Structure 1
Amino acid sequence: MALSEIPMGQIRTYGQIGKAISCQSAQAVGTAVSKNPWLILIPCHRVLPSSGHLGNYAVGEDVKCFLLRLEGLRFDNP
């Protein structure tokens, strides 16, 4: 799965994930990612919209931001 291949401390956009799996729709990727029941085991917190915002996260943006910072990324939601 493309999400599992994102190295710790790195992020990808929904579009980049879509391209990696031959899916033209970043929205479809976003919808699929939002259905991920294993939030930490399959690191969906590492996927962001191309807008540069954090985007949605099942347990809240603060948790997504916390997890990204825990991995060494300095990220402030614009």
Structure 2
Amino acid sequence: MKVKLFVKSDCPRCPEAKTLAAQLSDVEFYNVDQVDGLAEAAFYGVMSTPSFVITDEIGKEVKSWLGTVPKIDELRKVC
């Protein structure tokens, strides 16, 4: 499983999300202020930050938390 974290520079809860992501392995960070991050966010339907998207080996979405910071136990359960 792969964890994708979508953040934005003016997002008030994004620092909390980044701290949480630092406790996990294999996390990809995407800044939606940048073209590449915005494109990836659009692909997964991410419209708010912070957002976590969990994907399988082929990139198919397994679980997501959009516009919120989940508890670490919730993330670890899926990963």
Structure with greater proportional strand content: 2
TM-score (norm 1): 0.29
- TM-score, L = length of structure 2: 0.29
Where relative contact order (Cα < 8 A, 6+ residues apart) is larger, the structure is: 2
